[in-house]
Amino acid sequence: MAGNIYQFKAKLNNGQVKSLQEYKGKVLLVINTASKCGFTPQYNGLQKLYQKYQSRGLAVLGFPCDQFGHQEPGSDEQIEQFCSLSFNLSFDLFSKVDVNGPHSHPMFTFLKHAAPGIMGSKRIKWNFTKFLINKQGEVVKRYAPATKPQQISQDIEAQLNL
């Protein structure tokens, strides 16, 4: 699957459709998220990364997903309220998406092919799988759900410095 992430559009949590072209020239961290997951506390670390590197060109994009253990059952509005009240998130939060299967958001299909999982898997195995995208919109690396946001800091720094 050729191209880069800028060829896609996604609906923000508020219903507005956003072209990922708007992020051109930024380093992106794309995550499928959930509000009732054991990894949900990673929202704190993701917000810290965003605050630390936003001025240098990092954008964090959260995509809620309810495909794993029904851990994101709420509406977009409920998800936004939870993230705002519980974690004071200020990075872009998108509308709930599927990341696997026939209704997978095309961007996640692209990400999974560009950076397969363990043993070449083209599936996302759980919430809080993370993808690091360079300033040209190309996938640099995929991180497992258990990878804490602060562990990605060095890779983000390297991309920001290129």
Q: What are phi and psi of 111, to 5 degrees?
A: -60, -45
- The helix/strand/coil state of 4 is coil
d(C-alpha 86, C-alpha 157), whole Å = 27
Measured distance between the N- and C-terminal CA atoms of the chain, rounded to whole angstroms: 25
Q: CA 100: distance to chain centroid? A: 14
d(C-alpha 162, C-alpha 40), whole Å = 31
Which of 34, 37, 114, 132 is labelled catalytic? Answer: 37
Examine the residue annotation and report whether 37 is marked as an active-site residue of this protein: yes
What angle separates helix 153-160 from helix 42-53, to the nearest 10 degrees? 20
Rounding to the nearest 10 degrees, give the CA dihedral for residues 53, 36, 83, 66.
90
Q: Are 47 and 80 spatial neighbours (Cβ–Cβ below 8 Å)?
A: no
Q: What are the catalytic residues?
A: 37
